[in-house]
Amino acid sequence: MLRTLDRYIIRKFLGTFFFMIVLIMMVAVVFDISEKTGDFAEMTATTEEIVKDYYLNFIVYYGNLFSGLFIFIAVLLFTSRLAHRSEVVAMLSSGVSFPRLLWPYFVAATFLAALSLVINHKVLPAANKVRLAFEEKYIRATFFVEDTNLHREIAPGSIAYCEHYGAKEKTLYDFGLEQWKDNELVRTLHADRAVYDSLNGSWHLSDWSMRVLGADGDHLSRGVKKDTVIALKPSDMGQRWETAMAMSTSELDDYIVAKRAQGDGKVASYLIERHQRTSYPFAVYVFTLIGVGIASRKVRGGTGLHLAAGVALALLYIFAMKLTTVAATNAGLDPFIAVWAPNVLFAVVGILIYRNAPK
């Protein structure tokens, strides 16, 4: 049962948070429009597409991305005002314990964490799919990287590899295809270059050679040009990592399993995306605990000092998250540990701050 004090704190908490997020998103949209004015003038997208397909989903994505920081600042701001007006002291002096004071904060935090979970797992993937499709159509290309020394198992027993993949021209250089049966190599296909034809889904091979191995001897054939259908698409070779953000959670899980089955070891970024969808909402509790612990103490300097200390901790959290995700992507750190370690570390910091908060 929520009492008057609980409703007062929850209303202040949520009101400050939603006011801040609306204000910041309005500023972000204005800056993005000013930056992309030239692009919008040159592209063929309609005003409805720009507003509905891009900016509505832009607000959903960036609002959710920075919601943890906004929650932290919201807690700092209104709790600091309570402390500055000696309201926290009055609450504690009247017999309200500090854990009881935290109760309405965590009720509001639970609402925001649940909302973030729903957005991350249900709403955001669909919103990102529309936003990224708009960007790929009007702003940038689908592929972002040219990779080297790629190996993929495109079907059971079929191994495709290339020395270099040119994403823009959809071309595989020094392409090879091996067919294995009962742990024995039965056929190989090699081409200096393989170009994908998006119209009919075939590959145009240049300077190719094919070797069929059998008990009666090997058969070798060569040619200058050859068109063939291979169970391989350019998207299997690599695409923008942001594509993971446009997948539902089940699609992302299936994609990770499929990439591992193909022998693609570069799935760390997709695993990070998968775990972040759950870890970020739970960071709301960490931010709330730290924010209340810092801002509930009345100090000389007031809100400014509380805000400075809080922002410094928020920057440290962002730095720790970036550090661990880079370690997972490039140094082999387990993505689950990389994503959850900052939450655990700052939860310990929050507990220490809580133990020193005014009682």
Distance CA(307)–CA(298), nearest Å, equals 13
Q: For residue 225, which of 255, 193, 177, 184 has the smallest C-alpha distance?
A: 193
The confidence score (pLDDT) of residue 339 equals 93
| Whole-number pLDDT of residue 144 | 44
Query: 337: which 2 tokens?
Result: 């540990």
Q: In whole angstroms, give the CA distance from residue 148 to residue 161.
A: 10
**Which residues, including other chains, have CB under 8 Å from residue 176's CB and lie 6 or more apart?**
160, 161, 162, 188, 189, 190, 191
**Residue 143: predicted pLDDT:** 43
pLDDT profile of the chain (359 residues), mean per 10: 82 91 92 83 82 91 87 86 79 81 91 93 90 78 54 78 76 86 85 85 88 80 86 67 79 82 73 90 91 78 71 84 87 89 92 78
DSSP 222: E
CA distance 26 to 103: 32
How many C-beta atoms surround the C-beta of residue 113 within 10 A?
Answer: 21
CA dist 356 and 100 (Å) reads 16
Of how many residues is the chain composed? 359
CB atoms within 10 A of CB 193: 19
pLDDT (0 to 100) of residue 331: 81
SS3 (DSSP) at 104: helix
For residue 161, what are the contacts with CB-CB under 8 A and spacing of at least 6?
149, 150, 151, 152, 175, 176, 177, 178
pLDDT of residue 295: 81
Q: What is the pLDDT of residue 359?
A: 60
* Helices and strands in the chain: count of H runs, count of E runs: 12, 6
pLDDT at 299: 64
User: Domain boundaries in the chain?
Assistant: 4-140+267-355, 147-239
